[in-house]
Amino acid sequence: MSPDIVVAVLLTIIAASTPLLLAAIGELVAERSGVLNLGVEGMMIVGAAAGFAGAQVAGSAYVGVLCAALAGVALSILFAILVLVFTTNQVATGLSITLLGIGIAGLVGQGYVGTPGVKLRALEIPLLSEIPVLGRLLFSHDILVYLSVILVAAVAWILARTRLGLTIRAVGDNHHSAHAIGYNVVAVRFLAVMFGGLCAGLAGGYLSLVYTPQWVEGMSAGRGWIAVALVVFAAWRPVRAFFGAYLFGAVVILQFHAQAAGVQIPSQFLSALPYIATIVVLVVISASRRSAQGAAPACLGQPFVP
């Protein structure tokens, strides 16, 4: 296999992994604060629709990115109000937000079916992008790829090294104790959920502005659910989420290349391969339940009433 083909395959893996990583890192912060957000899929698909529509109206992909982020935040605020203010069941509310997001996205995007998209262009870093092989792999991407890596590093540092990170972890591990020493549990969780919605919206915007620059109903294709599973796979650690996202991205791309190579396996099975991998990972994690429970925030999914 020639170096150009290898580079091309690796670039497609990066493209497939970026939306998973963006959504997973946002969900990781929300869960570390104690909130289980199963509405990631809905926030992602709304971000994809809003991003595509915004880019079409303004003629700028960067405006589309902004619209995608705002759409994800808007839906996350609704989710946060329901689960944090009215203390509704987080699982049921997350599923409802996903269904709502799918409906809103279909409504927003129905006028854009078949419309050519406005693609977010790559930002090539001067000099570094000219390095053979590595230049294309590391320094010739769009802004959302760079942002996803920066977010992983920033979240890992904040959670481990800063007072803000300590606050988030304290609220997620024992919200009653955190409240007793003066932390505003609801406010911390509200902001964490909003950050998760922002990242999910950006992940959706990446799908409609970079990965497949067009609007297709249901284009998130379950990636939000994979992102939720990735957080468990990563044991709520940002760096592990990075490697997990790229592992799942590689599985997604593998099935495409296997189909192109004429592998004698039913195409339906190959298309289901990423989701089968997700189920296998969750089963393996459940088998070592003690370690999984030790890594999870102690108050994850539990409502808090001051």
Is 266 strand, coil or helix? coil
Give the pLDDT score at 222: 87
Q: What is the pLDDT of residue 262?
A: 66
Give this prediction's pTM.
0.92
Q: Which tokens belong to 55? A: 């880019």
Helices (H), the chain: 3-32, 40-58, 61-80, 90-109, 134-138, 143-161, 163-173, 175-180, 185-206, 223-233, 238-260, 267-287, 289-295
pLDDT of residue 251: 83
Domains parsed from the chain with CATH numbers = 3-295 (1.10.3470.10)
pLDDT by residue for the chain (306 residues), tens digit each? 567 778 888 889 999 999 999 999 999 999 999 999 999 999 999 999 999 999 999 999 999 999 999 999 999 999 999 999 999 999 999 999 999 999 999 999 888 888 888 898 888 888 777 788 788 888 888 999 999 999 999 999 999 999 999 999 999 999 999 999 999 999 999 999 999 999 999 999 999 999 988 898 889 988 999 999 899 888 899 999 999 899 888 887 877 766 666 666 676 676 677 777 777 777 776 666 555 555 789 999 899 887
Cα angle: 143, vertex 29, 181; to 5 degrees = 140
Separation of alpha carbons 18 and 250, rounded Å: 11
Length of the chain: 306
Instruction: Identify the pLDDT of residue 1.
Output: 56
Do 195 and 30 form a contact (C-beta atoms < 8 A)? yes
Residues 154-159: contacts with CB under 8 Å, at least 24 apart:
155/25, 155/28, 155/29, 155/238, 156/237, 156/238, 156/239, 159/29, 159/32, 159/238
pLDDT number for residue 95? 95
Q: What is the pLDDT of residue 295?
A: 74
AA identity, residue 197: G
CA 80 vs CA 77, 91, 130, 258: distances in Å: 5, 12, 45, 42
What's the number of CA atoms in the CB half-sphere (13 Å) around residue 67? Answer: 23
